[in-house]
Amino acid sequence: MSASPESVKACAERQSSCGVTGRKIEYVLDLMRIREQIRTLVNRCGDCGGRMVPIVYGYPNPELWERAEAGEAVIGGCVVESTSPSRVCRNCGKAR
Ligand SMILES: [Zn+2]
């Protein structure tokens, strides 16, 4: 389980119990912001800025079907090559 900004703030409010104080909290929150920004960038299409979703290869299980129907993933099929893309843009369909 990873810490959310909320849980870090909650922790800051009871500093004595966890020992993380002052500037350290700001530092951790900065790291979280940067990580979130990178995640957002990585998940955006370089051409249109649309949302990229992962292409999942292999025989699809029920969970993958559900995720694909919800638009959170794309079923890539059973054949995987070294050049197979790992993500596809939901907006323009560009795979990379
Ligand atoms: Zn796109």
For the chain, give every domain's residue range.
5-42, 52-89
Distance 50 CA to ligand 1 centre (A): 5
Q: Could you tell me which of 74, 96, 72, 73 has the C-alpha nearest to residue 85? A: 96
pLDDT, residue 17, reads: 52
Q: How far is the CA of 31 from the centre of ligand 1 (A)?
A: 28
**CA–CA separation, 38 vs 90, rounded Å?**
19
Q: Is 0.85 surpassed by the pTM of this model?
A: no
Helical spans, DSSP H, in the chain: 5-13, 15-18, 22-42, 62-69
Residues 6 or more apart in contact with residue 85 via CB below 8 angstroms: 55, 95, 96
Q: Quick one: what percent of the chain has pLDDT higher than 90?
A: 34
Instruction: Determine the distance separating the centroid of ligand 1 and the alpha carbon of 51, expressed in angstroms.
Output: 7
Residue 30 vs residues 17, 36, 40: alpha-carbon distances, Å = 22, 10, 15
CA of 56 to the centre of ligand 1 (A): 18
Band the pLDDT of 23: cuts 50, 70, 90: confident
pLDDT in tens, 53-72: 999 998 889 999 999 999 99
